[in-house]
Structure 1
């Protein structure tokens, strides 16, 4: 399936605009049609169904990829990486979880694009841990102007992203730092995208950098978080809140059944039953 989609992406279409027009020409599937195709793929490994699912969602990949255009990377490459994420999602999509494919696939699409951006945006890599990745992508969205943040802006960003002021300062320094060359010109130093105007092949090298290994170590944790996030979507709002408050509460100890029961005006036994049923649904969704 992967090779087939690569062929779709690299047809001699002529231009990115032509590819986008082609992608938008495919109709959006109805929930019923999507579920039928997903069942054929999931239970019978029907390749034609996979192809239709992919083609009908290419426009969504383009939409997601446009959000990363500010990193100075080729839009076509961003879309292609997103397509890879879409393929991975479709291969794992279980129609029985009763969630639209696009909701399931968005995490996989963004994950592939994130990896591409982090590996190619800078010569000196700026984000090596999961927390740094989150800060890296959100910090660019939070910037209100070019240049350095003032103390008030740092406090706002730190509060919005749930990180320390020091982490914001360090990441901003990494993002703002220029790669040093031996023939820097005024045009180089003023470039918004350091990679776009580099005129020398001689750069300072960080001998201690082991970015590839850190990415590999972080991939499994990122995958697990994505699986859990997708699985939570199969639950109703009340069940989601029960699971989050009971098991995903980072700020305090696990909340008791009695406390939740009082909040919802039901018995503690009923909360226990809801929690048990939610856990069963999560297990099925995660193992899919």
Structure 2
């Protein structure tokens, strides 16, 4: 196949690209595992084959991000970069198909591109004051009920009618990436100041605000795990801007065998699944 990963110029070329991608056969699980092992060994041809066989996954995921301010060709390009990253990082020893693993990376790259191109909104003082009240109320609510509140629930909880930020908060149902930007301190995302949110060099303050609330919820859930379980989940799935690590890499850090790390990971995932089910959160929401 031609090297058509990037640089689309018009809709006709884009449609032709989509047709080319859909003509590429999918991999069986056995083929996927074999190629992944070759990729780990540095085989560039295996890497190319694995990328091409999964390009249609990017096209499928792009649909969710259309009309978010980024042209479709740019979304495809960013998604393909995420796919490439996933191929490079995928561990065939993981107990999951590659597509399940790659979805996070593809969405991560597309979301970052959308956020980075968004114009920063400078908000009036009275709006910022109400946002401040909203953030504090949400933090208290999440701490008490272990879930993210709606605007109506916060209004009742604080006995305050949010008049000036009503239109802004309507976009909060759009989920933002789980991992915060910047350093990997897991508490940093929850302590971003409103001054930082309004800074002209920052991303859209509404995106940051939602990220804060989402991160706070995830932090609460992870805190129900043991320290070892929490560490393994964070580094296995690349939360808080970490790169995902293999069982071997985590095992070396914790001085445990690969099999022991796998067992602890499995136990932690069962716990998290129970928490997610309890709060009626879907896998799509989490991604």
Q: What is the TM-score normalised by the length of structure 2?
A: 0.49
